[in-house]
Amino acid sequence: MINNVISPEYNEEGRVMRRVRSFVRRQGRLTQRQEDALQNEWAEKGIDFNGEPLDFAAVFNNQNPVVLEIGFGMGASLVTMAAKNPNKNFLGIEVHAPGVGACLASAKEEDVTNLRVMCHDAIEVLDRMIPDESLSMVQLFFPDPWHKAKHNKRRIVQTPFANKIRSKLAVGGIFHMATDWEPYAEHMLEVMNNAEGYQNVSATGDYVPRPETRPETKFEKRGQRLGHGVWDLMFKRTK
């Protein structure tokens, strides 16, 4: 189930510099709850990486729209979204095995059936397993901001990534990002404003209020009590 995964880095022009093994199986200690969920729930809700395009109608046994979340952490908000939206299908990708286990455990406890998870690098999954124009929404919440300027090139939101997401969205589909690091929000806005085939859905041309589709996390609430901001960006594929 858990494989070593590979993630690219980009230079300032958005070109892939090299492919590095950025995640290995040092995923941390699993709790008994997480381990049990991985053992017992993976067969039903887990999808192994095999490089073959997914047939979402077969995976979910329906024709409902598919929402992809990249990097769902411990999965609390993803499970909440799936539970509140039974008319949508949710696929989550996360490289952290304890987070995958926690998500599966929560989905079992909440009796959520419209959720599937993968434990692999999202770039490879997008390239090899997500069919073009198959998604109604892609969610990227609180990705690593790579605070130091010399590491900014490692941020996942770059022009090649924006183009990749657009190819996987159906026309009219939404790319929803959120971050609690304002310089990264500004970076995301610049990248997306210059990306072809997108329209910013913000009425003010920058950020949107947190939509009801994104549950507020405990981490986010704590940050707000400390005076930290959160910036949501939503861009629609137009062509």
Q: Is 35 annotated as a binding residue?
A: no
91 is written with which tokens?
């696929």
Cα–Cα nearest to 116, from 72, 84, 156: 72
Residue pair 109/95 in contact by the 8 Å Cβ criterion: no
First to last CA, the chain: 36
| Exposure of 100 in the CB half-sphere (CA atoms within 13 A) | 28
Tell me the residue type at 112.
V
Q: Is 69 annotated as a binding residue?
A: yes
Q: Is 88 annotated as a binding residue?
A: no
SS3 161: helix
- Domains of the chain, CATH where assigned: 49-237 (3.40.50.150)
In order along its 239 residues, the chain shows pLDDT tens digits of: 554 444 445 454 444 454 433 333 445 689 999 999 999 999 999 999 999 999 999 999 999 999 999 999 999 999 999 999 999 999 999 999 999 999 999 999 999 999 999 999 999 999 999 999 999 999 999 998 877 777 778 899 999 999 999 999 999 999 999 999 999 999 999 999 999 999 999 999 999 999 988 998 877 877 777 778 999 999 999 99
Please confirm, yes or no, whether 36 is among the known catalytic residues. Answer: no
Catalytic pick among 55, 127, 132, 144: 144
Q: Is 94 annotated as a binding residue?
A: yes
Q: Is 144 annotated as a binding residue?
A: yes
Distance of CA 203 to the CA centre of its chain: 24
Other beta carbons within 10 Å of 180: 17
Give this prediction's pTM.
0.88
